[in-house]
Amino acid sequence: MLAFSPVHDAAAAAGAAVSWLSGVLAPLTGGAATAAAIVLFTIAVRLLISPLTLAQVRGERRRAALTPEVRQLQQRHADDPAKLQSELFALYRRAGASPVAGCLPALLQAPFFLVMYRLFATDDGGAGLLDDKLGGVPLGWHLGDGLSPSVVAVFGLLLGLLLVLAWFSSRRAKRAAAATGTVAGAPTEGPGAAVLGRLIPLLPYTTVLVALVVPLAAVLYLVTTTAWTAGEQVVLRRPQPADIDAR
């Protein structure tokens, strides 16, 4: 496990921070102090990595500005997918809007999410965080560990929120693909684009599937970080004046 020691150390530091925050919140939130601490700590981490998100959004806007040229290329090379791909990448490269570069901020965020998942799903370095409760349900409890009225109420509420957030994100993904003529940086009329176009809107629902098999603490983290992402989509990806004028 030596290769994973940096992740373990980071999870231990994060666990100490959540434990400290739980102690601070205890006079205000009582038995829900650890759950509240998980929410606030998740928000703090998302704020910390927000510059990466901003960089990703700027890259998306640069690619969106190329939409008219992308559509022209799609029409011009509709019968030659290889030529279309070549021309698209040349266009992105000239504009400094490479689809590959747009993935970099998301990749840089991955270590943060790995640490958060390891802490809240396994309590690695978490100093017993999963022993505390939310609504009478231990934070280490899985949905499959047994159903009771409190388990159904707590998990049902959180899973319902995740479903709403997944629907919202899926809908925005479809709209973005229709507006830009691309799906994840690829043209909507190229090889494999149909499959990719169907797959991308389904990805937000994977959080719901994950929530079915992880402890309550991790479900709470998933709801918080997914809600933050949805808020970012509304604030950072709202139409700009130039976009509105172009319609």
Asked if residues 133 and 31 have their Cβ atoms less than 8 Å apart, the reply is: yes
DSSP secondary structure string for all residues of 143-195: GGG---HHHHHHHHHHHHHHHHHHHHHHHHHHHHHHHHSEETTEETTSTTHHH
**pLDDT 10s per residue in the chain (247 long)?**
444 577 778 888 888 899 999 999 999 988 899 999 999 999 998 898 888 778 777 777 777 777 788 788 878 887 888 888 888 888 877 776 665 555 655 666 678 778 887 888 776 655 678 888 999 999 999 998 888 999 999 999 999 999 999 999 888 877 766 655 555 444 445 555 556 667 777 888 999 999 999 999 999 999 999 999 889 888 876 655 544 444 4
Q: Are strands 137-138 and 133-134 parallel, antiparallel or unpaired?
A: antiparallel
Whole-angstrom distance, CA of residue 28 vs CA of residue 48: 25
Global confidence as pTM: 0.76
Tokens representing residue 83 in the block: 């030529």
DSSP-based helix, strand, coil % in the chain, nearest 5? 80, 5, 20
